[in-house]
Structure 1
Amino acid sequence: MEKVRIEDVAQIAKVSRATVSRVINGSHLVEAGTTERVRRVMEEVGYVPSMRRPGPKSKHAHASRLTNGTVALITIGATSNLLQEPIMVSVIDKLQECCRHRQLHLLLDQMAHPDEIPFCVQGQQVDGAILMVAGRPQSQREAITRLAEILPCVQLFAPGHSVDTVDHATTNDVAVGAMAYRTLLDEGCRQFVAVTANLDFHEALLVRGRAFLDRAQNDEHPSFCFAKKMVQGQADRVWPSPLSVFEQMAEVAQQISKMGASKKNPIGVFLTLEDRASQLHKALCQEGLLQSGAVKLVIAGSTPYFVGNLSPRPFLIDLGFRDIIRTSIDRLIYRALNLPSDRLTLLIAPKLILQE
């Protein structure tokens, strides 16, 4: 069986060879739709990118491959905190899958303090690092900056907290909120509710929720926000009015049931993160709102642990973790081989998963 070439991918995807090369290198110059098409073709034909990249090569790396063929997932903070979250476990699983596909080894390490350099970095065992922040560690920015001084780094899920020498790959949270609004609008909803159940301030959820509510208000549709009572801080300083701060999801469902929803005039509800999906779904069902069609529900996230058993099935917005991982690995390889001076924030478009 002949080895699949980059020219074969370009021909099937109906793009130039240079475009395929840019997609492999994580370039921001290629449109999102084209990038997705090229990646899909690469997977379908089993094309594995070579470690060789066009352009000037770093004198610190072998001309045809990474020095070690190994990358690290380094958590800033305690790894145990991260592994308690099913969403992050799913991300790590996809990262392992992506590394296997690219014939890379993956190491797992952590960094709790700027002076505690991971052993895999000290021993020069890795060519680069994917970074994720676990919890709210002290001096996280200093720790990330210190790592980036030693080796190429790409951070996941933190475009708003950038370090000048670190790329970021993350979900386009504005697009998530906009997609949630458009989906519910197309379902006939003319009243809209955003629900966030995070106990602490979470910038991504705020961006999603505000993008959703701003579009409803711009179209002059009644909109309302429910926010969980925060452990630290006050929800009314973060979320727009009209706002109701709640402690139990039952409170949310009971208030929504009083808004005059019906099958002919459904209310569109957007949950900004999936980890409280079962609680909200159960509360809405207890009020008879989902079964009757009086409420249409959209949830940001598609992790089976949280949404796999929900019935009636809500609309789900896939946050694009698989594409985020692929993009971050491609960009990390490019950084390791070419040492570019630019810094990129790579926003990945979400996808709507329709109800069955």
Structure 2
Amino acid sequence: MNGMHCLCGIIKWHPTARNILLTAGGDNLIIIWNVGTGEPLMTMDDHLDLIYNISWNYNGSLFCTTCKDLRLRVCNPRKNEVVVERLSPHEGIRPMRAIFTREGNIFTTGFTRMSQRELGLWDPTNFEEPIALLELDTSNGVLLAFYDPDTSIVFLSGKGDSSIRYFEITEERPYVHYISKFSSKEPQRGMGFMPKRGVDVSKCEIARYPDTAGPEPALEPEEWMDGQDADPTLVSMRDGYVPPKSRELKVAKKNVLDTRPSTRKSMSVIDGSSLPPQLLEKLVEEVQNLKATVLSQEKRICFCDLENKLSKYTNGSLNKANSSNAHPNSLLTP
């Protein structure tokens, strides 16, 4: 594939490392990129069927995937391996989704054997039994989970639904707590989750503005590739978020595009020693002819300017002379 997907359907930025991007496509490949250099860092081909979704963990050391083959996998990208997997976290064959929580557990949505929508919470170090498993309703829409690690609240919505449900994930039973829901008259056609840095905190308050992940990465690409891990760099939301005036794409390694040979060269940077003698002589002759042409044109321009001035001077003198020789009565009629 030469580091490219035949059809890219999933794009996930690394939560802490600068310029690290994960992509997955219809070819069932997962590729990790350094977008600062345009280079693919690694490719994983462990998935044998369509990948439904991918979620990084809080510090970006692992990610989990759900797949059409009904398996939930936890992957270590830097070792290019599947750490652990679980077949059929939900017994239904319809698509499921999974996200990492801040504590390192995995929250899943799927279907029961009777096509009821179901929620699950799993410990990836012990995939045998779920921490919690909760039947929700009998709707057909696939549940999409949007997780806020600052408050441990997950928002559930599905295409065709007219409501969004809120759940809080805690370490106390029943672990997944229903909070409330938002209802609308129109069914949902699509959903997205905006970073809280764009929220007007004067109009919306959740848990007294907890700190949230800021725009500055905690690691450079080379540090992450060397095995370092770090939590996201947080910013305060107490008075709202004010973005910096200017942000530049920081690249520690030289961009690969800068090393590509140019197809066009300026005459000022051509090395004369690398040219054949015949071509060099011809270029010198053409330059000398060009100089001579320019010099002759300059002389012609100066001569024309002199002719114009002389013509004006001559015409002016003749006019004065004619005026002085005219008879005072010449303008009178006889």
Q: TM-score range by the shorter chain?
A: under 0.3
Higher Cα Rg, which structure: 2
Higher helix proportion: 1
Higher strand proportion: 2
TM-score of the superposed pair, with normalisation by structure 2: 0.28
